[in-house]
Each structure stands twice: as structure tokens, then as C-alpha cells.
């Protein structure tokens, strides 16, 4: 009985995986943060390749872009002696510095909750609080999502993926100006009746370039030299200003 059931499942599952496949294109292979960087937009487009006629079921495409994970401490203020002070802190071991979810229809229509739990697609699934002794640690995780959503670091873009003839898809994800460096992961999920049938991942490196890169490296790897350079510039500017205005005064 069990074996028959399993083989039946396999028969259903196997063709489903081979039947449809995601082919992806990106408008940029990497994002360079230079001096005039003011956010960037990535066009994510692709097609669904089929070797056989289109299977039954409601199709859905979900595109996520995730920035590098960083630990975050979420603080909550309370009133103490009349002023508002950070009292409780919850450390969130890893939360993406950027996260965008775009879908071809309402997320609840294209993704089952169980599949979301398995693949960790929606924003609440990505930010999970870990090991805390604070009672309502869930509200801290929610606060993190709320604050980052407010500054466009977390974006929920329902129905933002345009799907043409169930084959071609395309969406745009706007990266904000305050980007963290690192490898961003673009993941595309293809769903049928809310079940993920194919995924495709591609990393998009985001890095500082040119002067930004040089200064950042210098500040971290050669801090003494960097500090002295800052002072030298300050002294030169101070001397320069007094010299130039001294000339005017004569």
C-alpha cells in the first residue's frame, strides 16, 4: 500500500518538475555603489520553458530579492523617570538587510502557507527571532519588519510581476540608496495551485566601487592612516580658508 502510494506520488511529482523550467535574465549582473549612487532598479525578466503542453492549475510567479543577512538588535523604549529610554532589546541573529517579494497575483492566491513555511518566501518567514528571554519577542520581529518596510528596505509587491501568456514574466525591484554591500540573491519561484514547482536563483553582487571602495577599505584596514588623512584635510581646509580670506581683507 505504502509503496504503491509512493510510486504514484513520484509519477505525479517527476513530470511536474521536468515539465516547466524557469529561464532568467537580469538587467544588471551587479550593482555598483559609486559616489553619485542614489538607489538602483533591477529589471528581472524571464520565461518559462515547457517541453510539453502546459499543465493544469493556476500558475504563479514569485520573485524575491534578498540582501545579505546581518544580526540586528531591536530595542523597545519605555518611559523611565519621565523620559523614553531603550529598555528591552531582542537580538535577531540574522535578518536580510534588504528583502523584496514580488508576485504575479495576491500572494495568498499563488502560494500555500505550508509552501511558504518550507521555502521561507514571505517577509515574516524571513525574519525570525531566536533565543530571547523577553516575553513578547514576536512584536520585536514585527517591529523590525515595520521599520524596514517604512524605509523601503522590505518591500511587498503583490501583483507586481507581469505574466504574459503564462510564459513571459517581468518585474522591477527598486533598491534603495542605503544599501548594504554584499551578494544579493534573486530567487524566482514558479507555482501551480500554490505549490512551488520550480525555483531559480541568481546572485547579484552589490559593491562599492572607485572612491567609495577605496575610502571604505582604508577606513577599516588602515584606520590610523585614514584618521591622519581626515585630520590633514581638516587642517589644510582650516589654513586655506584663513589664508584666502586673509588675502581678501588686505
Site string for another protein, 28-67 (x = CB under 8 A): -----xxxxxxx----------------------------
Residue 39 zone, left/alpha/beta (φ > 0; ψ -120 to 50; rest): left
| Piece of the chain touching another protein by CB under 8 A; list 7-15, 18-26, 156-164, 235-243 | 235-243
| Contact status: 147 vs another protein (CB under 8 A) | yes
| Contact status: 201 vs another protein (CB under 8 A) | no
Q: What is the DSSP letter of 153?
A: S
Look at the block and give the residue holding cell 515595520.
146
| Contact status: 86 vs another protein (CB under 8 A) | yes
> According to CB under 8 A, which one of 84, 133, 247, 250 is a site residue for another protein?
84
Q: What is the DSSP letter of 127?
A: -
Distance CA 73, CA 14 (A): 44
| Piece of the chain touching another protein by CB under 8 A; list 12-20, 60-68, 98-106, 229-237 | 229-237
Q: CA 216 → CA 8, 34, 209, 213, distances in Å?
A: 57, 12, 10, 5
- Do 191 and 62 form a contact (C-beta atoms < 8 A)? yes
Count CB-CB contacts under 10 A for residue 248. 6
Residue 219 burial class via C-beta count within 10 angstroms: exposed 0-12, middle 13-18, buried 19 and up: middle
Q: What is the DSSP letter of 91?
A: E
| Piece of the chain touching another protein by CB under 8 A; list 48-56, 124-132, 158-166, 205-213 | 205-213
| Piece of the chain touching another protein by CB under 8 A; list 14-22, 41-49, 84-92, 117-125 | 84-92
Site string for another protein, 158-187 (x = CB under 8 A): -------------------xxxx-------
Query: Smallest gap, in angstroms, from Cβ of residue 32 to another protein?
Result: 11
| Contact status: 21 vs another protein (CB under 8 A) | no
- Do 171 and 157 form a contact (C-beta atoms < 8 A)? yes
Query: Smallest gap, in angstroms, from Cβ of residue 150 to another protein?
Result: 8
Q: What is the DSSP letter of 209?
A: -
> According to CB under 8 A, which one of 146, 183, 201, 205 is a site residue for another protein?
146
> According to CB under 8 A, which one of 8, 13, 18, 231 is a site residue for another protein?
231
Distance CA 45, CA 162 (A): 9
Distance CA 39, CA 176 (A): 4
Query: Smallest gap, in angstroms, from Cβ of residue 35 to another protein?
Result: 6
Binding site for another protein (CB under 8 A): 33-39, 70-79, 82-86, 89, 91-93, 140, 143-144, 146-148, 177-180, 208, 211-212, 215-216, 219-220, 223-224, 226-231, 233-235, 237-242, 245
Amino acid at each position: 500500500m505504502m509503496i504503491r502510494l509512493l510510486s504514484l506520488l513520484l509519477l505525479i511529482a517527476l513530470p511536474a518538475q521536468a515539465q516547466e523550467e524557469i529561464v532568467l535574465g537580469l538587467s544588471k549582473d551587479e550593482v555598483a555603489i559609486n559616489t553619485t549612487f542614489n538607489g538602483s532598479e533591477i529589471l528581472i525578466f524571464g520565461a518559462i520553458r515547457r517541453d510539453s503542453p502546459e499543465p493544469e492549475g493556476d500558475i504563479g510567479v514569485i520573485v524575491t530579492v534578498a540582501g545579505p543577512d546581518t544580526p540586528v538588535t531591536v530595542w523597545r523604549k519605555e518611559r523611565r523617570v519621565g523620559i523614553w529610554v531603550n529598555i528591552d532589546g531582542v537580538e535577531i541573529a540574522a535578518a536580510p538587510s534588504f528583502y523584496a517579494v514580488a508576485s504575479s497575483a495576491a500572494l495568498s492566491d499563488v502560494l500555500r502557507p505550508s509552501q511558504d513555511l518550507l521555502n521561507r518566501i514571505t517577509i515574516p518567514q524571513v525574519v525570525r527571532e531566536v533565543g530571547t528571554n523577553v516575553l513578547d519577542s514576536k512584536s520585536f520581529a514585527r517591529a523590525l519588519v515595520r521599520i524596514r518596510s517604512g524605509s523601503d528596505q522590505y518591500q511587498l509587491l503583490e501583483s507586481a510581476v507581469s505574466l504574459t501568456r503564462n510564459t513571459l514574466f517581468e518585474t522591477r525591484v527598486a533598491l534603495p540608496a542605503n544599501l548594504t554591500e554584499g551578494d544579493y540573491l534573486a530567487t524566482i519561484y514558479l507555482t501551480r495551485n500554490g505549490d512551488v514547482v520550480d525555483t531559480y536563483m541568481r546572485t547579484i553582487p552589490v559593491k562599492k566601487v572607485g572612491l567609495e571602495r577605496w575610502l571604505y577599505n582604508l577606513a577599516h584596514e588602515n584606520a590610523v592612516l585614514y584618521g591622519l588623512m581626515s585630520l590633514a584635510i581638516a587642517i589644510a581646509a582650516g589654513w586655506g580658508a584663513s589664508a584666502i580670506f586673509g588675502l581678501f581683507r588686505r
